[in-house]
Amino acid sequence: MTGDNGDIVVRAEGLVKSFKGFRAVDGLDLTIERGMIYGFLGPNGCGKTTAMRMLTGLLTPTEGTVEVLGLSVPKDAETLKYRIGYMTQTFSLYGDLTVLENLNFMATIYGLSGKKRKQRIGEVMERYELTDLGKRFAGKMSGGQRQRLALATAVLHEPQLLFLDEPTSAVDPESRRHFWEQLFDLVDGGTSIVVTTHFMDEAERCHKIAILESGQKRADGAPKDLMNAMGANVVEIEGPNLRDIRRHLLGSDGIMAAAQLGARLRVLVRQEITDPAEFLKAKPETNGASLIEQVRPNLEDVFVTATGEGRQ
């Protein structure tokens, strides 16, 4: 399983990681194409980090095969190290080193020297707004600044493929938006990106996603395609007693899930039911509702239908 597959940057088959018999990743198959942002979406503990660590060659799979950029992993992990970037959940920066010292340290690890080293450090400092922070200790920076430095160190050696593990968990919404713009700039420049997240809005920005649960892939594809292919219709209900309506609906035939969003109850109705709004209007518990209307699905609905919540 070697040789550059051109348009495929990651191929994993039957990937398993067991910790003392517990399967944190449980039979994962992945095909990730070049030039896209591919997201792993799933709750805490579903195996996103473990899967990513196996793809980067840092963790040896218990079972299965992994090919990244045409290299067999973990066998060729040392060669792969120079072609990928990896930004960990904790950003892996040296808090008692300055911005410049962190960048120089990473440059040494990646074997960048002389003119090239100086040029790249200058470039990333400018691109990620670190130029005025060169002498600042990483441990004394804000969450957003640390995130920018972590990204700068991860792309210093111009990797073809970038792995980002929950990169925006510790930053404010504005930094998050800005960070995603920077990711699209990187993709525009030819980088492929694999990112883990538990934020729906972030997953929706990915070209493709895999929804993970208990170490297994429940669904994958472009967010829009997943929404179109969802096995449910979505109806929103407005009116009094939404908590009571929810209690009655949950567990009744044809209802997959019901969750309150502000003044509305969002109900997932099985796709077999041809007119889901009429179906709900006919139920006695919705008598007092002021509005019952079918709405467009979103990624959270896909998540609910693909994972345990929707199968109960």
Ligand X SMILES: Nc1ncnc2c1ncn2[C@@H]1O[C@H](COP(=O)(O)OP(=O)(O)OP(=O)(O)O)[C@@H](O)[C@H]1O
- Site residues (vs ligand X, CB under 6 A): 19, 24, 42, 44-50, 166
Residue 216 CA neighbour count, 13 Å, CB half: 8
User: Is the torsion defined by CA of 81, 83, 88, 92 positive or negative?
Assistant: positive
Cβ at position 149, least distance to ligand X in Å: 21
Q: How far is the CB of 17 from ligand X (least distance, A)?
A: 8
Beta bridge partners of 137: 98
Residues 208 and 220 sit within 8 Å (Cβ to Cβ): yes
DSSP secondary structure code for residue 217 in this structure: E
Q: Min. distance of Cβ 88 from ligand X in angstroms?
A: 10
- Taking the least distance from each CB to ligand X, the nearer of 44 and 274 is 44
By C-beta, is 14 or 43 nearer to ligand X? 43
**Smallest separation (angstroms) from ligand X to the CB of 83:** 23
Task: Provide the minimum distance between the beta carbon of 157 and ligand X in the complex, in angstroms, as a whole number.
Answer: 25
Whether the CA torsion 66, 9, 298, 268 is positive or negative: it is negative
Q: Is the distance from CB of 297 to CB of 245 less than 8 angstroms?
A: no
Q: Which tokens sit at 120?
A: 């790249």
Q: Which is nearer to ligand X, 64 or 239 (CB)?
A: 64
For ligand X, give the closer residue by CB, 87 or 255: 87
For ligand X, which is the closer residue by CB, 166 or 204?
A: 166
């990937």: which residue's tokens? 15
Q: How far is the CB of 216 from ligand X (least distance, A)?
A: 12
Nearer to ligand X, 191 or 197 (CB): 197
287 token code pair = 């008598």
| Residues 112, 120 contacting (CB under 8 angstroms) | yes
Tell me 76's DSSP state: T
